[in-house]
Amino acid sequence: MRSIMKVLIPLIFIAAITGCEWKSGGDSSWSDSASWANFSGVYRGVNGGVLVTDYTTTPGTPATTNSVHRSIGVGNGGSVYNGMSLGNGNVVLGSVTVVAAGYSFSDDGSGLLQGAIAGTSGTVNHGTGIVSINLGTFTLNPGQPIVATYQHVVQGAVGSGGAGPGTSGIVIYSFSVHQQGNKLTITDNNGSVYKGKFGNVSTTGGKVDPAADTGGGGILPNIGAASQSTGPSTVVAQYSAEGVSAAGINITMTGTMQGVLGGAGDSFGNRIMMGTWIENPGRTGDINGQAAPIPVSAQTPVAGP
């Protein structure tokens, strides 16, 4: 594990295989250039239900979006490759990227793969995950890999009945989360504000850039070209926050936020917020929320520690 103190920018520059870990310290903040990698956003209850639920029922889980990076075929000296399988159905519209020997194709969301070079084209069936590409006047040498990156939806689990609120006197359906550096502000749908910060933030996957090596290795973000060679990474952040609820009760929240960085479309997606809601005095409940993905963009590699 790498330990990077105070400066949170390296969260997005992911260490190879062993991962990366950050521990908050003082009042340090992320640079604005790294704001695309944060957890800011509106987190809503699963399937539009209650966000803070009690322990008497099991809340359902949302349909999760998994990111996949895999080989789907190899060249045979020809230019047309039909019937290649992504390996999964229920593919997210617009999420597919196919790369073959430098020729790239992007999903337009309507079943077509747009070739980056004139005369190249392709198709994708989002329901079955079947892909075809046509290189036109170009050919692939035998054995050259055809690689796809995409996202697919996995059906969520149904809860054991309608979960009741895990709060006293109020119901919470959403949190508006604002992150600035390691500082955290959470505002619920009732207008109550809770202040806190992140503790450890850990990541997995990534790629070392030899050109930026200063002994520890330069770390590339797992997006763009890096995600095409290594696939997406998971980011998990511990958080805690305190405030006073709309019912006038002192609140402590603690748990984790996580998301998937990189992959098709270069995004920070599958973002979820989990934790425990603790009232003093009062009830204790589960926090289960989900937020929409945000786009990301590649950054310049930085020297490793």
| pLDDT single digits (tens) 88-135 | 988 888 899 999 998 999 999 889 999 999 999 999 999 899 999 999
Report whether 245 contacts 170 (CB < 8 A). yes
Location of structure tokens 């479309």: 265
For the entire predicted model, the pTM comes to 0.54
Instruction: Provide the domain count of the chain.
Output: 2
The torsion region of residue 174 among left (phi > 0), alpha (psi -120 to 50) and beta comes to beta
pLDDT attached to residue 7? 32
User: 33 and 178 in one domain?
Assistant: yes
Q: Where among 154, 180, 212 does a domain terminate?
A: 154
Q: What's the sign of the alpha-carbon dihedral 241, 7, 303, 215?
A: negative
Residues in the chain: 305
Most confidently predicted of 9-13, 159-163, 216-220: 159-163
The answer to whether residue 17 is domain-embedded is yes
Please give the structure tokens belonging to residue 254: 């603690």
User: 285 and 193 in one domain?
Assistant: yes
User: 115 and 85 in one domain?
Assistant: yes
The answer to whether residue 202 is domain-embedded is yes
CA distance 94 to 138: 25
Please give the structure tokens belonging to residue 109: 């969301």
User: 25 and 90 in one domain?
Assistant: no
| pLDDT single digits (tens) 174-218 | 999 999 878 899 999 999 999 999 888 777 654 433 443 334 333
DSSP state of 117: S
Query: Which SS3 state, helix, strand or coil, does residue 132 take?
Result: strand
pLDDT attached to residue 104? 94
Q: Where among 87, 120, 154 does a domain terminate?
A: 154
The residue segments making up the domain with residue 221 are: 3-62+161-295
123 exposed, middle or buried (CB, 10 Å; 0-12, 13-18, 19+)?
Answer: middle
CA distance 239 to 168: 22
CA distance 218 to 231: 18
| pLDDT single digits (tens) 41-67 | 999 987 677 899 887 655 556 667 788
